[in-house]
Structure 1
Amino acid sequence: MPTITDTVTTPDGTCPVTFTTPDWAGRWPGVLMYPDAGGPRPVFREMAAQLAGYGYAVLVPDIYYRSGDWAPFDLNTAFTDPDERRRLMTMMGGITPDKMASDAVAFFDYLQSRPEVNGTTFGTTGYCMGGRTSLIVAGRLPERVAAAMSFHGGGLATDDPSSPHLLADQIQAAVYVGGARDDASFTTEAAETLDKALTAAGVEHTIEWYDALHGYAVADHSAAYDEAAAQRHWDAMKEVFGAHLPR
């Protein structure tokens, strides 16, 4: 699928992005794809291309652009190597909900400016920390998100005052959450809390469990990647985005 590299100007600087479209002529719904904690890397270009093949224009941002020229992470070792874990947690901690929202305004403006993109509302999808970002953005920018998806996302319903479930009454998007097996970052108790919040707010939503580990959808996370679960997540995106994004 055609992919370009570009930059998006945000309130905090210049964010590198990739923008991938189908390989046939037309205008397509825009989707903002948030990477996992490892950040953007070749596997997310491949994933953007696969989603584009279903008929979407896909933007993948460098979520760590504020950190300058950062070295790539290997999620198979990043959490067990003390130095890499420290570096990763520091960079993750620098991405606050306010920064997520201000960045997303710029990303959506970019998508809306592209002649390849149709409509003024968008989809968001994300993995691991990107799944949390996807829901936070849906709550912080409700008028711009028509469908928000999270796959093996963590921290979706916690005691933190910035927890996504506390934004439920602001969300206008359809929400889909695909939880992972034995995932301490998104437990059955957290899922129940999230479900109750979304239900009380009248948000159309689905929370499902995948019989696979945290990281199941991202192929270079070899310790957790699960081909059947990954295909299920692609099917879910086709269904949810197909039902809720403008054509």
Structure 2
Amino acid sequence: MTSVQGTSVDIPTEDGVADAYLAHPGDGLAHPGVLLYQDAFGLRPHLRAMADRLAGAGYTVLVPNVFYRHGRSPVFELPEFIDTHSRPDLWDSIGPVMQSLTPELAMRDAGAYLEWLAASPLAADGPVALTGYCMGARLSLLTAGTYPDRVAAAAGFHGGRLATDAPDSPHLVAEHITAELYFGHADEDPSLPPEQIQLLEDTFTKAGVRHVCEVYPSAHHGFTQADTAAYHREGDERHWAALLDLLKRTF
């Protein structure tokens, strides 16, 4: 592990300014870029720690506040340990904000995030990698299909509603994807039932997308997030191994 520097940055978008966290090795050199997409709880210390860990492995990592239209992070007042079973009221504020981030808006923003990384002297030239969590897994998949020439690899973990019958379902971008994909699903996740998992797998295969989709046993939606009640240590460790392996193959 190398020394890591982390800082807050602002990213101009078509609709305003997105605050973000940037983590990178402390050597001042350019390293492969990684765009990390948040879960519904937003940009917070745990996600910064995840970015720091990736930076320590040799990457320049950008974590945007995708909810920036609703304010700078933290957008929500969250407890240090997030348990939505004991605090179901959290969804009263988070839910509407999530719904307001349409695929169209999210992909417009994705272009700004990718442009910012491309212009950063701390990010190496060429395509970047993506990783996303919960709702961020959907954003990762959509970004890989919307900006195929900018994305070399994309990962998603405990994503929900990845392959639905909606006209804007994320899996429908598969035909445009050129990146290698890795998706780690939670086996106890009602937001991604077995039939969606199968449809996603079939769609990737039919489109000729290089991919691995795996179901993590005894894992719930959110299993990588150590500051939540959904955390599953074994699944999280497996996620890190899979993600770092994907990045090594890519860069």
| Shorter-chain TM-score tier | over 0.9
Matched, 1:191 2:197: yes
Whole-angstrom CA distance in 2 between matches of 1:14 and 1:25: 25
Q: Give the equivalent residue in structure 2 for 1:51.
A: 54
Matched, 1:216 2:200: no
- What's the RMSD between the two structures over aligned residues? 1.5
Q: How far is the alpha carbon of 1:25 from its aligned partner?
A: 4.4
Is 1:78–1:88's contact at 8 Å kept on the other side of the alignment? no
Q: Helix, strand or coil for the counterpart of 1:110?
A: helix
Q: Helix, strand or coil for the counterpart of 1:117?
A: coil
Residue deviations 1:217-239 (CA, integer Å, cap 9, x gap): 11101x22122211111111111
Superposition TM-score, scaled by structure 2 size: 0.93
Identity of aligned residues (%): 40
Q: What amino acid does structure 2 have at the position aligned with 1:147?
A: A
Q: Helix, strand or coil for the counterpart of 2:188?
A: coil
Residue deviations 1:118-171 (CA, integer Å, cap 9, x gap): 122111111000011100111111111111100001111011111111111011
Superposition TM-score, scaled by structure 1 size: 0.94
Q: Helix, strand or coil for the counterpart of 1:49?
A: helix
Matched, 1:231 2:237: yes
Tell me, which stretches of 5 or more residues in structure 1 are unaligned? none
Q: Give the equivalent residue in structure 2 for 1:173.
A: 179
Residue-pair matches, total? 244
Matched, 1:99 2:105: yes
Q: Helix, strand or coil for the counterpart of 2:136?
A: helix
Aligned with 2:26 (options 19, 23, 44) = 23
Q: How far is the alpha carbon of 1:216 from its aligned partner?
A: 1.1
Whole-angstrom CA distance in 1 between matches of 2:164 and 2:86: 24
Match runs of 1:26-175 below 5 Å? 26-69=29-72, 70-74=75-79, 76-78=82-84, 81=87, 83-175=89-181
Is 2:224–2:235's contact at 8 Å kept on the other side of the alignment? yes
Q: How far is the alpha carbon of 1:209 from its aligned partner?
A: 1.0
Q: How far is the alpha carbon of 1:23 from its aligned partner?
A: 2.7
Tell me, which stretches of 5 or more residues in structure 2 are unaligned? none
Is 1:112–1:119's contact at 8 Å kept on the other side of the alignment? yes
